[in-house]
Structure 1
């Protein structure tokens, strides 16, 4: 796996490289399906609706959100398999918070999976 970039779907001036995957369970509000250029919609790699509602973008819940989200991803490894095979990847998200969102957590999870896979045995 090469680089993993993050880009907010509402930032049209944000330079985006590589294959682009929307990593939201719900389609972003106000964004036309024909206007967002994506290579895939990895909605199964997004947090469950229950977890997303529980988190509510509350930074005080960030550490616990990440733990629960990683547990969900561990239980559904097929959801991230297409993302792990990309050399140059951009994860698209819709949250206003650029530091505490599922794309940030997913990027960290993918990097950890790749490091684990590449570690000598």
Structure 2
């Protein structure tokens, strides 16, 4: 029986939690006003972020989240993103993984799509 990975989604601006495990920022752009020290990251995986075109089209419109997720999952099949997703899958096997994003609504972000894919 395989153990289900603990995958969390949090805002990068929140204080790190004790159960975070490995903390990975999954945004393409560095969060405004945040120092690397304050972020407390283990990795910045910007290559897994959605394309600029998809991000601009989506614009965090809750009505578009389902379609955004479908399009983003399609983008994750591209070689560079697929390789990054594979690395995140390996990280999740080793213990807790927290996907971080700067968005105000992480539950409708690429981090949530990734967490769902990774078993969170």
Q: What TM-score, normalized to structure 2? A: 0.84
- Unpaired runs of 5+ residues, structure 1, are 113-121
Structure 1 residue 95 displacement after superposition: 0.7
Structure 1 segments, 4+ long, off by >3 Å, are 13-16
Which of residues 84, 87, 101 is equivalent to 2:89?
84
What's the RMSD between the two structures over aligned residues? 1.8
Q: What TM-score, normalized to structure 1? A: 0.84
Once residues 5 and 14 of structure 1 are traced to their aligned partners in structure 2, the CA distance between those partners, rounded to angstroms, is: 10
Structure 1 residue 110 displacement after superposition: 2.2
- The one of the two structures with greater contact order (alpha-carbon pairs below 8 A, sep at least 6) is 2
Tell me the number of residue pairs that the alignment of Structure 1 and Structure 2 aligns: 112
Once residues 50 and 104 of structure 2 are traced to their aligned partners in structure 1, the CA distance between those partners, rounded to angstroms, is: 17
